[in-house]
């Protein structure tokens, strides 16, 4: 007999959604967790970021009315905001622990290491299980350069009590661009150094160019094609040097150069489970080379975006497999991506830049949405939409540049996944006057076969 039916190494979204489903179905479940309950997103990532982002989003909106009917938009007290964040986010770890205990899910605290196909060693204790799910996630990659010990990661930044006067961001990816947007609104100096020729390589080039120009207008300095070679501590702070001769002085250095999978010291090699910094190799059922051991979420070596909802999707899929509710290979729907800059950049489905290279398959329709809808979109005149329409007249992809990019891209994801036609949408009634109503009104005439 095993100690539990299913043991999860980790307790984040890649594990806990499936664990709850299994427990409700009557299975015995245990979490093996060496950090806080709920994992990175809950304690150190998305939840903290969106909480901190809230007042900045409102400030951004109020600024559009400054000089018209708003005389002053005020300021954000970062130390007070951070204290609020620590109070709210800090309560989640114990609350989740209590919830899981109430549900009958055991938690074993410590680092888990596989010793065989059914056993996890945690300190002096072992936990045996019929199935094991690895959901250990990822962590920020730190550049392997001299002075790397001076480079902070996103976890550090999301707990910083005082915003530094000059932040040097290494990399122009999602983490850097989102955090830089906040620092700029606080009036801080921002320098972003990027190895590649542009920021946010996975997102529409035009929209990325727009956000870079906006950030530059706020005082940000970008250095592209600039490989970082060294970080040096100085009397006044830190100096970042690049191999092509750029030198930047700053008070704080933040690394935003990607993430690597947490696969070390899990005992994978001893079981013949293949893994690298990209993650753990799995089959189309999320099984490792040991059939009763699964991997879920960010720790999986796959081309799917490393996002919280993807981890949740994986977790629920694995639970269904274990319960025998499905034997089908995993199939992902289209997955929306969102960058929480100010304004947002969002995309889903076929990327517009890629679709433009295949005119025989797709029609790319850019829509300068903001100028014609200023009256309903809170004076946000720079909103832009791009729709990718396939030859059958279905929406195949979409991108949004605008403050409401999040809810809009979710709505457009539904249209793509369900292959809703213009006729389908005409049969529906939407609230008016709302941004969603105007979005549908803009899209429907475009959903026509080629």
- DSSP E strands: which ranges in 289-381? 293-295, 337-339, 344-349, 362-367
Mean pLDDT of 247-275: 97
- Is the pLDDT at 1 greater than 90? The verdict is no
In this prediction, residue 323 carries a pLDDT of: 98
Burial 91-129 (b: 16+ CB within 10 A, else e): ebbeebbeebeeeebeebeebbbbeebbbbbbeeebbbb
Mean pLDDT of 364-386: 94
Q: What is the pLDDT of residues 437-449, one digit of tens each?
A: 999 999 999 999 9
Can you tell me whether residue 225 is helix, strand or coil? coil
As given in the structure block, the two tokens for residue 64 are: 């559009």
Q: What is the pTM of this model?
A: 0.95
Separation in Å, CA 383 to CA 162, 366, 369, 432: 32, 11, 6, 19
Mean pLDDT of 68-77: 94
Helix axis angle, 174-185 relative to 46-63, nearest 10°? Answer: 50
Mean pLDDT of 405-423: 97
- Is the pLDDT at 254 greater than 90? The verdict is yes
The residue whose two tokens read 């299994």 is: 22
Distance (Å, whole) CA 398 – CA 265: 41
Mean pLDDT of 112-130: 98
In this prediction, residue 30 carries a pLDDT of: 98
Mean pLDDT of 82-111: 97
450 falls in which pLDDT band (50, 70, 90)?
Answer: confident
Percent of the chain with pLDDT over 90: 98
| Inter-residue contact 189 to 80 (CB < 8 Å) | no
- Is the pLDDT at 16 greater than 90? The verdict is yes
Report the chain's C-alpha Rg in angstroms. 24
247 falls in which pLDDT band (50, 70, 90)?
Answer: very high
From the list 168, 169, 242, the residue with the least C-alpha distance to 200 is 169
Distance (Å, whole) CA 166 – CA 80: 20
Mean pLDDT of 93-111: 97
347 falls in which pLDDT band (50, 70, 90)?
Answer: very high
Mean pLDDT of 310-338: 98
From the list 101, 122, 126, the residue with the least C-alpha distance to 112 is 122
Mean pLDDT for the chain overall: 97
Phi, psi angles (nearest 5°) of residue 390:
-85, 175
Q: What is the pLDDT of residues 18-35, one digit of tens each?
A: 999 999 999 999 999 999
Can you tell me whether residue 27 is helix, strand or coil? coil
Q: What is the pLDDT of residues 124-168, one digit of tens each?
A: 999 999 999 999 999 999 999 999 999 999 999 999 999 999 999
């Amino acid at each position: 007999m095993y100690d539990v039916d299913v043991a999860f190494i980790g307790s984040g979204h890649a594990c806990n959604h499936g664990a709850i489903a299994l427990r409700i179905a009557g299975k015995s479940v245990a979490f093996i967790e060496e950090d806080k309950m709920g994992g990175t997103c809950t304690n150190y990532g998305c939840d903290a970021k969106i909480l901190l982002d809230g007042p900045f989003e409102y400030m951004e909106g109020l600024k559009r009315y400054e000089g018209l009917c708003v005389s002053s938009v005020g300021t954000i007290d970062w130390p007070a905001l951070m204290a609020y964040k620590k109070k709210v986010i800090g309560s989640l770890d114990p609350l989740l622990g209590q919830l899981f205990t109430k549900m009958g899910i055991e938690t074993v605290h410590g680092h888990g290491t596989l010793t065989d196909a059914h056993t996890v060693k945690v300190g002096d204790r072992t936990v045996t299980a019929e199935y094991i799910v690895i959901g250990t996630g990822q962590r920020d990659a730190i550049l392997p350069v001299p002075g790397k010990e001076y480079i902070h990661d996103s976890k550090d930044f999301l707990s910083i009590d005082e915003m530094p006067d000059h932040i040097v961001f290494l990399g122009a990816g999602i983490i850097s661009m989102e955090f830089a947007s906040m620092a700029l609104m606080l009036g801080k100096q921002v320098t972003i150094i990027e190895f590649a020729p542009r920021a946010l390589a996975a997102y529409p080039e035009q929209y990325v160019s727009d956000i870079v120009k906006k950030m530059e207008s706020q005082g940000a300095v970008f250095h592209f094609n600039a490989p970082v070679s060294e970080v040096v501590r100085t009397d006044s702070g830190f100096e970042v040097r690049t191999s092509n001769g750029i030198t930047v002085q700053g008070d704080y250095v933040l690394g935003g150069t990607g993430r690597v999978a947490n696969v070390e010291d899990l005992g994978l090699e001893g079981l013949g489970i293949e893994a690298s910094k990209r993650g753990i190799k799995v089959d189309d059922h999320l099984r490792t080379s040991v059939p009763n051991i699964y991997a879920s979420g960010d720790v999986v070596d796959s081309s799917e975006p490393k996002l919280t909802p993807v981890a949740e999707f994986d977790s629920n899929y694995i639970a269904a497999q274990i319960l025998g509710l499905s034997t089908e290979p995993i199939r992902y729907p289209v997955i929306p991506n969102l960058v929480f800059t100010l304004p947002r950049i969002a995309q889903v489905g076929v990327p517009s830049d890629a679709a433009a290279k295949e005119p025989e398959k797709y029609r790319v329709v850019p829509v300068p949405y903001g100028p014609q809808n200023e009256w309903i979109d809170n004076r946000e005149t720079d909103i832009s939409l791009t729709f990718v329409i396939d030859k059958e007249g279905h929406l195949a992809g979409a991108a949004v540049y605008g403050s409401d990019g999040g809810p809009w891209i979710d709505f457009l994801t539904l249209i793509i996944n369900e292959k809703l036609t213009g006729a389908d949408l005409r049969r529906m009634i939407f609230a008016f006057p709302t941004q969603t109503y105007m979005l549908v009104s803009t899209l429907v005439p475009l959903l026509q076969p080629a």
